[in-house]
Structure 1
Amino acid sequence: MTDNVLTHEVNLTDVAAQKVKSLLEQEGRDDLRLRIAVAPGGCSGLRYELYFDDRLLEGDAVRDFDGVEVVVDQMSVPYLAGATIDFADTISKQGFTIDNPNAKGSCACGDSFN
């Protein structure tokens, strides 16, 4: 990465960072970053995309969390400012969760927001 890489205000909890590291170790890859983006779709208008990516695109904002790079594209940065990515592993819920203070509401299934 270059010195002029933008940063973002998305946070990754320690639990989520450890889960990402574990998934990357299972994949045997050390060249992937966790990318979070906002895209049109879902019942409420916008949905989250969370996936591993080996690319770093122009305008991407990056933060490192103990060796886990989280990347947000330039268009998604304002929608995700202050959001926290966590990982839940309970009987009722398992997977990554996103607590976003910018979301005014979400659909009943939790897959999209506005």
Structure 2
Amino acid sequence: MTTTVPGDTTEMPAHEVILTDGAAEKVRNLLVQEGREDLRLRVAVQPGGCSGLIYQLYFDERVLDGDAVKDYDGVEVIVDQMSAPYLMGATVDFEDSIEKVGFTIDNPNAGGSCACGDSFH
């Protein structure tokens, strides 16, 4: 599967990260608050934490060589080439409950996580 970035004529591979409707709605609301239509949600994996790898979620205006992009009803999600295998089949959701408020990642590739839940291996 490929996707085309608006304003760009090149096609890029799509990734296999799933963005739930609730997470997409929260991202849209945050982008409206920022007043920026040129930003995309980047989901990445970086070395760090107690278990070896940590997730990063942030807004990015760039699409780099090797990035995979997928559109979720107007919300573009970018995954870099190095992170894609670690995130294959992962689901990004947004939780707003008494216990927790924030984005969560359910990753079938994570073999385990640390006690604080901030990193995985």
The TM-score, its normalising length taken from structure 1, stands at 0.98
SS in 2 for 1:18: helix
Q: Identical aligned pairs, as a percentage?
A: 72
Of residues 66, 81, 103, the one that matches 1:74 is 81
Kindly provide the amino acid, as one letter, of the partner of residue 93 in structure 1.
K
Of residues 84, 102, 106, the one that matches 2:109 is 102
The TM-score, its normalising length taken from structure 2, stands at 0.92
Give 1:108 shift: 1.3
Separation in 1, partners of 2:87, 2:38:
24
Kindly provide the amino acid, as one letter, of the partner of residue 31 in structure 1.
D
SS in 1 for 2:37: coil
| Aligned residue-pair number | 114
CA RMSD of superposed structures (Å): 0.7
Unaligned runs of 5+ in 1: none
Separation in 2, partners of 1:7, 1:108:
33
Give 1:54 shift: 0.3
Separation in 2, partners of 1:4, 1:93:
38
The 5 Å alignment of 1:1-114 reads 1=5, 2-114=9-121
Give 1:4 shift: 2.5
Unaligned runs of 5+ in 2: none
